[in-house]
């Protein structure tokens, strides 16, 4: 379990028409929940992870957490999301593989959902997060913050539930998945589903590690979009992998780097969740059924900061500018980074400054008990 906590939420009707009968959500929390005059938690901050992230925002790797916290320089005592002041909650997303119901979870018949797991949208995922907030006693988040896929959910929160979001920070994300982004996702999904070990999505109860080769190929494709051309050219260039000769079939250093990234992900993430969540990201469109993105964004009432990374080639800055152009009073923060889309994870000083600015006018009361106390 590690630092995870679990809440059983009961049945969830999804937008696809399938009812998930017994949804469980995993989350982690840090800091002190404090109650306001209405009895609800008044200083809660919701942090939403990206595609292959999870609820482990802060803390070391260990038996229950295959990788260290992904925003350790941002959340903690004295940091931008100061846990001496804010009660920080990070759930694992619906469809994931780190404790929240997903394709690897048991269905009512005791077998893994596998291919029977329904298509879930970003709106379904936010519905689960809203149900968790209800259970925790959070009627209104002081801040909802997320990057990439997490930014999609953060925007959906602010558009679909404006009364529950006081402040909003969206990092390296978009109001709707574009054709280019869906196109990048297509070969990733195909790589996983073409792996013979995929077994139509029903590999969970079969021997072997599952479609890790296909997942590794998907990660190679994705990772190129996460990092910048500058990094690939400057860090690796045409250098051979030490001890190998590309002229006789050996690898270039950049190939070895991508292979390493593929192996890391295959060792900690489920291929079924990867496909499910990638399809969820493709579904993202805050304007669907709301008159288009401009009309939907105009309904946001939260104090909004949108963070763009200047070298992001997956979610380029003009997409964040579109959000700022249509959310009343929103401001854009442009982060200078050589690391592409992953700059929202790497450039902690600039990201922390943006979060601090967003929270500068949000008040939090002073009494309460530590998370988990």
What would you report as the CA-atom Rg of the chain, rounded to the nearest whole angstrom? 20
Q: Of 201, 195, 196, 147, whose CA–CA distance to 169 is shortest?
A: 147
Q: Which of 42, 337, 341, 342 is catalytic?
A: 341
What's the N-to-C CA distance of the chain in angstroms?
17
38 is catalytic: no
148 is catalytic: yes
42 is catalytic: no
Q: Which of 148, 228, 273, 280 is catalytic?
A: 148
Write the Ramachandran bin of 124: left for phi over 0, alpha for psi from -120 to 50, otherwise beta: alpha
**Quick check: helix, strand or coil at residue 152?**
helix
Q: What is the token pair recorded at 167?
A: 């402040």
Q: What is the token pair recorded at 82?
A: 């100061």
C-beta separation of 272 from 199 below 8 A: no
Q: Which of 54, 195, 312, 342 is catalytic?
A: 312
C-beta separation of 124 from 51 below 8 A: no
Calpha distance 223→52 (Å, rounded) = 11
C-beta separation of 44 from 32 below 8 A: no
Q: Which residues are catalytic?
A: 148, 312, 341
């Amino acid at each position: 379990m590690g630092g995870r906590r679990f809440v059983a939420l009961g049945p969830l009707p999804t937008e696809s028409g399938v009812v998930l009968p017994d949804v469980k959500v995993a989350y982690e929390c840090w800091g002190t929940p404090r109650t306001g005059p209405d009895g609800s938690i008044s200083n809660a901050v919701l942090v939403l992870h990206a595609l292959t992230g999870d609820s482990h925002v802060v803390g070391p790797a260990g038996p229950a957490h295959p990788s260290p916290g992904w925003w350790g320089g941002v959340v903690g005592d004295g940091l931008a999301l100061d846990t001496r002041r804010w009660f920080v909650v990070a759930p694992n997303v619906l469809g994931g593989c780190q404790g929240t119901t997903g394709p690897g979870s048991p269905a009512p018949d005791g077998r893994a959902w596998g291919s029977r797991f329904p298509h879930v949208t970003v709106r379904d995922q936010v519905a689960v997060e809203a149900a968790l907030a209800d259970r925790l006693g959070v009627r209104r988040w002081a801040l909802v913050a997320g990057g990439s896929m997490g930014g999609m959910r953060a925007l959906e929160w602010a558009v679909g539930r404006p009364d529950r979001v006081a402040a909003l920070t969206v990092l390296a994300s978009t109001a709707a998945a574009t054709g280019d982004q869906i196109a990048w996702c297509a070969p990733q999904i195909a790589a996983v589903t073409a792996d013979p070990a995929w077994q139509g999505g029903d590999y969970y109860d079969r021997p072997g590690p599952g479609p890790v080769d296909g997942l590794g190929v998907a990660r190679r494709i994705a990772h190129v979009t996460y990092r910048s051309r500058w990094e690939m050219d400057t860090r690796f260039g045409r250098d051979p992998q030490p001890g190998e000769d590309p002229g006789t079939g050996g690898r270039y250093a950049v190939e070895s780097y991508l292979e390493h990234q593929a192996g890391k992900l295959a060792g900690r993430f489920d291929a079924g969740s990867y496909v499910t969540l990638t399809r969820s990201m493709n579904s993202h469109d805050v304007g669907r059924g709301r008159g288009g993105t401009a009309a939907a964004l105009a309904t946001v009432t939260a104090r909004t900061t949108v963070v763009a990374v200047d070298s992001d080639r997956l979610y380029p800055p003009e997409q964040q500018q579109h959000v700022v152009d249509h959310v009343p009073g929103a401001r854009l923060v442009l982060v200078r980074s050589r690391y592409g889309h992953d700059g929202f994870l790497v450039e902690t000083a600039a990201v922390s400054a943006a979060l601090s600015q967003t929270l500068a006018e949000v008040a939090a009361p002073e009494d309460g008990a530590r998370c988990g106390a």
